[in-house]
Chain A
Amino acid sequence: MKLRLHTTPEVPLEAEVISPDALQGLSESEAALLPIYHGNRKVGLGEFFEISGRVDESEGVVEVEGDLSRVKLIGHSMSAGRLVIHGSVGAHLGASMKGGEIHVSGDAADWVGREMSGGRIVIQGNAGHMVGSAVRGSSAGVQGGEIIIHGNALNEVGNGMRRGLIAVGGNTHDFTGVNMLAGTIVVLGRLGMRPGAGMVRGSIVAMERTECLPTFTYNSTIQPDFIRFYLFHLRKLGMSIKDEFINGQYERWSGDSLELNKGEILMYAG
């Protein structure tokens, strides 16, 4: 099935129904009636999208085109299939996602994959704040799955993350891995300020040196096997990984000592 945004919304659209799960088995006209919210007004999907074809049963592919930067909640709770977005998307992409794959050729706004528990999200461009994060007030964020961002990401990547992998090809802003419970964040560029603040367990890997908080302590320079496995995996997914990262040494800092002190920040040391 293909969706094309034919009218740019004046205020954000909330379109949880744009996911293979909700569109599976529907005809064009049935899909056009699915409810979405334009601001606080409930309208049919067809009022903003031109719909063609059906979701094929084996692959479950849905393609979406147009400037979707004002369309929120695409792929919400999606459990299977493949969502291909040509262009940029709005906030809460793949929120609470359980399985399947989302591929975005442009940029994504804030809250990519918040509280996801499975599946994979790939963003070719940049992402906003709160990638793979817990919602405000909640202590647990991503429970599983993978988020791959080829560009940069802003603040609080992996806030409260509990399991899974987040990889960022460029740099991240402040508080990467804040309050992390477990899981892995790999940043091929530089971390912003105060990485891993309040982290309990988990690993943050970065390829450029950043100052750590005073509650983190340096303990060794090592060559952990798991980084090699992760980097090979990311290379397979199309990220450009230099050989020296795969074969290099990493400085290990442990923290946050305000919490369990069982987390680690690993920074490439040549």
Chain B
Amino acid sequence: MSVLRIINGKVHDPVNNIDGRIKDIFVRDGKIVESVPEDSPTIDASGMVVLPGGVDIHCHIAGHKVNMARKFQPEDHRKDAQLRVGELRSGTGGVVPSTFTTGYRYATLGYTTAMEAAVPPMSARHTLEEFHDTPVIDKGFYVLLANNIFLNQLLEKGRMEEFREAVAWWLNASKAYAIKLVNPGGDEPWKGRKNSNVDQLDQKISGFDLTPRKIIKALIDVSNDLGLPHPAHIHCNNLGHSGNYATTLDTMRTAEGRRVHITHIQFHSYGGKLGEKPTSKAAEIAEYINHHPNITADVGQVMFGNATIMTGDAPLTWLLRNMTHKKWINADTECESGCGILPFAYQGHVYTHALQWAVGLELFLLSKDPWRMVLSTDHPNGGSFENYPRLIRLLMDREFRNEEARKVNQKAIANTKLLDIDREMTMQEIAIITRAGPARILGLTDKGQLGVGADADITIYDENENREEMFNAARYVVKSGNIFIDNHEFREDRHGRIYHVAPDYDPAVEDTLRPFFEDYYTIQFDNYAVDDSYLGDHETVKPYPARFEEAKVSMT
């Protein structure tokens, strides 16, 4: 198969401790190898920066909520057409691009892996079908399990064995990669009664003899016990509310030292009183994470401009709808989850939006360990993934950052420490927060690095002092050893791979599940699970302990 040499490039590969050294990279059959013959096809990367392909740990790119968001914003697509190039497919861009365009545009930025972050099990089949039409990038998804009536009922009766088996069954049935918690315990009461939600971890969830903390603890434990490559991925309660940092700290304490990932943590780092203007508690959150190596997080940076709120946190969307008074979608996913979608715009002159922007940057810059505070905009919730280059510049260029900070609401900026922070991230740190870090947190040991044996997902950028311009368009993108972008031009279309887990479970759990499905679901139990034919090119990622051993071997 294919071979490739990339020579004379300045390589940043944090996993292998290579920080800006001129180094040649060799590729054979989609993997990085020791060497290939001299006369192999060669990219001369003189004056360029070579990085592993980007890994997005949290975005919303496929599934029925994404599709609904596409369909109800025609006004957003029509000014941004993705024209057909060669054999590639056409599509539309905007904040929520069409499937093909999503793949191409991620690749244009140098990203080769992206994880869809919220899929109710019922829409897993749809999500996988959209994945097949999302070219180039590798992907997987997290399945929503924290507002699941059946699991809640097992938990309230303390049937922990069956709970564990049921979670494992659901991971298999949906072909998910990890467990996602969204507003644990809050959606179910909200679906039953207007303005009902939970706001404390030890509050009783209406309709169940259960608290959010029990759900959180149980799913953190199951993720760890099953040895999933990625731990429980938590969107905490009280997203966006003033004073919610206390809930976030409480959630992190609930892990009791076990691995957990807190997502778009920027939206969960506010002080102040409920109903009043938020203040920044980024320093407190960053401090806690600095001292607790079991916790990882992605930021969920807000970028000014158009965004689309798209979440399983239905009560939150209702709250925002009452601010925008514009179109929105609210959906009830039977016994599994809620869903809310609404177009939104972050504006610099608005106090709260400017504060959110600054809090995100504070979190990046106050965190001591870039491996555990990685980059995301919660695309498209905090802004499109196409904002990443600008975000990278904000992190790498203090003058630019302060200039931008001076353009927005000054009361908000004064309530943060942003202007006092001198730190500028290095290229190596950017390589960590966009590549090596997310790959490690995901347990994808072959991603985010350029060591021998790693996947040959490589991006090459022209060196440029203006980091936004530099990261806006990779000059070369190599995906699984094949050149997809060649000197800024698309070559032939490529499929990505689907990553999922398949933990063992006791088939006896199906006898417990079946009657519940027959009573309460619109889908027959036998038709519910997604079969292997939906996977296509895929990799079943093994339980974490096994991979951890392998990782140690490959790193030594």
What residues of chain A have their CB less than 8 Å away from a CB belonging to chain B? 135-139
Contacts of B72 in A (CB 8 A): 137
Contacts of B78 in A (CB 8 A): 135
Contacts of A135 in B (CB 8 A): 74-75, 78
Closest B residue by C-beta to A135: B75
Summarize B's interface: helix, strand, loop or mixed: loop
Name 11 A/B residue pairs within 8 A (Cβ), A-sorted.
A135-B75, A135-B78, A136-B74, A136-B75, A137-B72, A137-B73, A137-B74, A137-B75, A137-B76, A138-B75, A139-B326
Contacts of A139 in B (CB 8 A): 326
B72, B74, B75, B326, most chain A CB atoms within 10 A: B75
CB-based closest 4 A-B pairs: A138-B75, A137-B75, A137-B74, A136-B74
CB distance from A194 to the nearest CB of B (A): 19
- Of residues 67 through 88 on chain B, the ones whose CB sits less than 8 Å from some CB of chain A are 72-76, 78
Interchain CA distance A156-B73 in the complex, whole Å: 20
Closest B residue by C-beta to A136: B74
Contacts of A138 in B (CB 8 A): 75
Interchain CA distance A137-B75 in the complex, whole Å: 5
Closest B residue by C-beta to A134: B75
A135, A137, A138, A139, most chain B CB atoms within 10 A: A137
CB distance from A76 to the nearest CB of B (A): 13
Additional pairs, 9, CB under 8 Å, beyond known A137-B72, A137-B73, A137-B75: A135-B74, A135-B75, A135-B78, A136-B74, A136-B75, A137-B74, A137-B76, A138-B75, A139-B326
Interchain CA distance A136-B73 in the complex, whole Å: 8
Interchain CA distance A137-B74 in the complex, whole Å: 6
Interchain CA distance A139-B75 in the complex, whole Å: 9
Interchain CA distance A140-B290 in the complex, whole Å: 48
Interchain CA distance A135-B74 in the complex, whole Å: 9
Query: Digit string of B157-193 for contact with A (CB within 8 Å is 1, else 0)?
Result: 0000000000000000000000000000000000000
A/B pair count, beta carbons within 8 Å: 12
Interchain CA distance A139-B72 in the complex, whole Å: 12
Interchain CA distance A64-B76 in the complex, whole Å: 33
Chain B interfacial residues counted at CB < 8 A = 7
CB distance from B361 to the nearest CB of A (A): 31
Contacts of A136 in B (CB 8 A): 74-75
Contacts of B76 in A (CB 8 A): 137
CB distance from A37 to the nearest CB of B (A): 13
Interchain CA distance A161-B102 in the complex, whole Å: 33
Interchain CA distance A137-B326 in the complex, whole Å: 11
CB distance from A133 to the nearest CB of B (A): 12
Closest B residue by C-beta to A139: B326
CB distance from A204 to the nearest CB of B (A): 22
CB distance from A168 to the nearest CB of B (A): 26
CB distance from A130 to the nearest CB of B (A): 14
CB distance from A182 to the nearest CB of B (A): 16
Interchain CA distance A59-B470 in the complex, whole Å: 48
CB distance from A101 to the nearest CB of B (A): 26
Interchain CA distance A104-B78 in the complex, whole Å: 28
Interchain CA distance A139-B327 in the complex, whole Å: 9
CB distance from A129 to the nearest CB of B (A): 17
Interchain CA distance A138-B76 in the complex, whole Å: 8
Closest A residue by C-beta to B77: A137
Contacts of A137 in B (CB 8 A): 72-76
CB distance from B119 to the nearest CB of A (A): 25
CB distance from B318 to the nearest CB of A (A): 18
Contacts of B74 in A (CB 8 A): 135-137
Closest B residue by C-beta to A260: B325
Contacts of B326 in A (CB 8 A): 139
Interchain CA distance A244-B78 in the complex, whole Å: 46
Interchain CA distance A119-B78 in the complex, whole Å: 24
Interchain CA distance A136-B76 in the complex, whole Å: 10
Interchain CA distance A218-B326 in the complex, whole Å: 27
CB distance from A224 to the nearest CB of B (A): 29
CB distance from B167 to the nearest CB of A (A): 39
CB distance from B529 to the nearest CB of A (A): 36
CB distance from B536 to the nearest CB of A (A): 31
Closest B residue by C-beta to A138: B75
CB distance from A138 to the nearest CB of B (A): 4
Interchain CA distance A31-B78 in the complex, whole Å: 27
CB distance from B342 to the nearest CB of A (A): 13
Closest A residue by C-beta to B76: A137
Interchain CA distance A55-B196 in the complex, whole Å: 66
Interchain CA distance A238-B56 in the complex, whole Å: 62
Interchain CA distance A113-B76 in the complex, whole Å: 20
Contacts of B75 in A (CB 8 A): 135-138
Query: Digit string of B33-77 for contact with A (CB within 8 Å is 1, else 0)?
Result: 000000000000000000000000000000000000000111110
Interchain CA distance A138-B72 in the complex, whole Å: 10
Interchain CA distance A64-B556 in the complex, whole Å: 77
Interchain CA distance A135-B76 in the complex, whole Å: 11
CB distance from A212 to the nearest CB of B (A): 23
Interchain CA distance A78-B72 in the complex, whole Å: 29
Interchain CA distance A125-B401 in the complex, whole Å: 58
Interchain CA distance A138-B75 in the complex, whole Å: 5
CB distance from B381 to the nearest CB of A (A): 19
Interchain CA distance A228-B74 in the complex, whole Å: 40
Interchain CA distance A137-B308 in the complex, whole Å: 14
Closest A residue by C-beta to B74: A137
CB distance from A139 to the nearest CB of B (A): 7
- Of residues 307 through 362 on chain B, the ones whose CB sits less than 8 Å from some CB of chain A are 326
CB distance from A62 to the nearest CB of B (A): 26
Interchain CA distance A139-B78 in the complex, whole Å: 14
Interchain CA distance A61-B90 in the complex, whole Å: 38
CB distance from B79 to the nearest CB of A (A): 10
Interchain CA distance A121-B173 in the complex, whole Å: 60
Interchain CA distance A246-B5 in the complex, whole Å: 83
Query: Digit string of B287-310 for contact with A (CB within 8 Å is 1, else 0)?
Result: 000000000000000000000000
Closest B residue by C-beta to A200: B325
CB distance from B544 to the nearest CB of A (A): 44
CB distance from A1 to the nearest CB of B (A): 30
Contacts of B73 in A (CB 8 A): 137
Interchain CA distance A138-B343 in the complex, whole Å: 11
CB distance from A41 to the nearest CB of B (A): 15
Closest A residue by C-beta to B325: A259
Interchain CA distance A139-B326 in the complex, whole Å: 9
CB distance from B113 to the nearest CB of A (A): 32
Interchain CA distance A135-B79 in the complex, whole Å: 12
CB distance from A92 to the nearest CB of B (A): 12
CB distance from A215 to the nearest CB of B (A): 16
